Chain A
Amino acid sequence: MVKVIVYPPTSTILADLVDRMGHTPLVMANEIRKKIDTPSLESPPLNITPEDPKKGLKYAAVDVPSGVRGRMSLIGPMIDEAEAAIIVEDNNCLVGCTGCARTNELTRLLIKIKGIPFIELKYPRDDGEARRFVHEIRMFLEGLK
């Protein structure tokens, strides 16, 4: 079983696919759930505290916008943990983006330079492409040890 980070990290459909193939998906929903379930934190709606952007400093310097560093405080540790990655390019907002394009750029970069196996695909636009899309991801996940 391998820990697989999914990009965009908000994609619940891909998280489900990773899970069905017996691996552990690393996605934002799980990280946010931890935040919401942690008692004594009261910073709705995501329970991100002013301390979190400081944790993001590990991934982005202080002159990077606070919203990027706040996101990286959640995404960064997932990248650290990841043993493989699925990257989907040209996704539309229905797939669920993480809001900030700068965070997306940094996330993709950090995944790619980490040296873990990754598969990079284009977002499917029709039924045939969608079938090929799922097939390629399945093959990739099956190949992970």
Chain B
Amino acid sequence: MIRIAQLSCGAEYSGIQRELERAAEIVGAKMISPEVSLEDVMEVEKRFGVSVPSGDLNLIMARATRLVQNPDLADAVFVATCFRCAEGAIIRGEVRRYIHEHSRLPVLSYSFTERTTAETLLTRMEALVTTARMRGLLARERQTGLTAGIDSGSTTTKAVIMRDNQIIGTGWVPTTEVIKSAEEAFQQALQESGVKREEIQGIGVTGYGRFLVGKHFDAKLIQEEITVNSKGAVFLANAQKGPATVIDIGGMDNKAISVQDGVPGSFTMGGICAGASGRFLELTARRLGVNITDLGKLALRGSYKSVPMNSYCIVFGTQSLVNSLSKGARPEDVAMAACHSVAEQVFEQQLQEVEVKQPVIMVGGTSLIEGLPRAMEDLLGIKVIVPNHAQYIGAVGAALLVSGMLEV
């Protein structure tokens, strides 16, 4: 049983404690609260250099100290405070950083509302448990044998066939019916690689449709996208050793993951609004009358500075977009403003929650929209890597990881 230390303020009074425990139970884990002494609580100011009046926040810091002193108390850490609490957000960030710097415990940082459900937390908890339970598998650096990976995403379904550490076939289709799309993508990949279905030694699946697709293909590995994409990203970017930061802006949500030696250390998933997602870029492309694959090139010719765009909400973002066009803004400026707006929300909301260490690797289909990595580079002030096959990152990670399971 994986033990997840819960360091939280407000969860009980927000009515979501049961949801936290349910999410942990579904992924085979248990929430625990490390015991602390009164001295631990009284000394947090000395240790952290911060003084907060909230008792629960002091308790969070005391528990973090105890975990660092005795990391065997738990296998992973879940740090959570109420959404909209400034004091909570400051301490959440500090505690995450403290644990990250002083232990090898994986940390998930989250701000909740009273509407947080176990389902919302599931992928995050699953990633936390995988990181704790499968460190050995996640440390795998080479793909061996003949394996396939299928990434059933909310917008597109991707498949790859890999043989002896090489990608030999790829498939990419828009997601309609989950299983049908997975079959199509898989067939494309098989055809390109010239491999027969029965020759595949193992299939790994990830993405939103992973459970359904995994069952259909009798997959050996069914895994959430946070750990799988981290692995795929560092593999393709040739950054398997040392630190890395993976940014994956997906169709519905986005992930920012701090990786060390290919293993996620801390991560966040999802933003304030779909305004920071591939969906917004898709909508922008449609409104500008260009194909999504051409949006990036268009954006590179424009500047975001002349088009103000709301980056916190897809509805208001669209309103800004329509307003700008009606005032005669150039399509290339609007395209760049949309890319900048998406990058801005990820930068402001999510990159505050993880350790941004170089190299920064952008993955997923959106990373191919050239304006987006460019906007992220402007915001971070550092070079961003978009590896070859970045759009197949989940499928590559799944094919790589499942090859490790063949030897077990």
A residues adjacent to B (C-beta < 8 A)? 42-46, 48-54, 63-71, 93-94, 97-102, 104
Contact = CB atoms under 8 A, between A and B. Distances in A.
B15 to A, nearest CB: 4
Contacts of A70: 10, 12-15, 114
Contact of B58 (A51, A53, A93): A93
Interface of B: 9-18, 21, 38, 41, 52-56, 58, 81-85, 87-88, 112-115
Contacts of B113: 66
B20 to A, nearest CB: 11
Given A68-B82, A70-B12, A100-B9, 10 more contacts: A43-B17, A48-B15, A50-B15, A50-B114, A54-B114, A65-B88, A66-B13, A68-B13, A70-B114, A102-B85
A68 B13 CA distance: 8
Contacts of B13: 46, 48, 52-53, 66-68, 70-71, 99-100
Contact of A67 (B41, B53, B82): B82
A25 to B, nearest CB: 21
A104 B81 CA distance: 17
Contacts of A104: 53
Closest 8 CB pairs of A and B: A67-B10, A65-B82, A70-B13, A101-B53, A99-B56, A66-B14, A53-B114, A66-B114
A97 B10 contact: no
Nearest to A97: B55
A68 B84 CA distance: 11
A99 B58 CA distance: 9
9 contacts: A44-B17, A50-B114, A63-B84, A65-B85, A65-B88, A66-B10, A66-B112, A68-B10, A69-B114
Given A99-B55, A99-B56, A53 B15 contact: yes
A101 B10 CA distance: 11
Nearest to A50: B15
Contact of A66 (B41, B52, B58, B82): B82
A64 B88 CA distance: 12
Contacts of A53: 13-15, 114
A51 B115 CA distance: 9
Nearest to B14: A66
Nearest to A63: B84
A99 B9 contact: yes
A100 B15 contact: no
B53 A51 contact: no
Interface of A is mostly: loop
Nearest to B41: A93
With a 10 A CB-CB cut-off, give which of A67, A71, A102 has the most chain B CB atoms.
A67
Contacts of B114: 50, 52-54, 66, 69-70
A67 B55 contact: no
Contacts of B81: 65, 67
Contact of A100 (B10, B17, B83, B115): B10
B208 to A, nearest CB: 24
A84 to B, nearest CB: 25
B56 A100 contact: yes
A67 B55 CA distance: 13
A21 B324 CA distance: 70
Nearest to B11: A67
A104 B83 CA distance: 18
A40 to B, nearest CB: 13
A50 B85 CA distance: 18
B403 to A, nearest CB: 42
Nearest to A101: B53
Nearest to B117: A50
Nearest to B87: A101
Contacts of A71: 13
B40 to A, nearest CB: 11
Contacts of B52: 101
A67 B18 contact: no
A100 B54 contact: yes
Contacts of B83: 65-66
A16 to B, nearest CB: 21
With a 10 A CB-CB cut-off, give which of B15, B53, B54 has the most chain A CB atoms.
B15
Contact of B17 (A46, A69, A98): A46
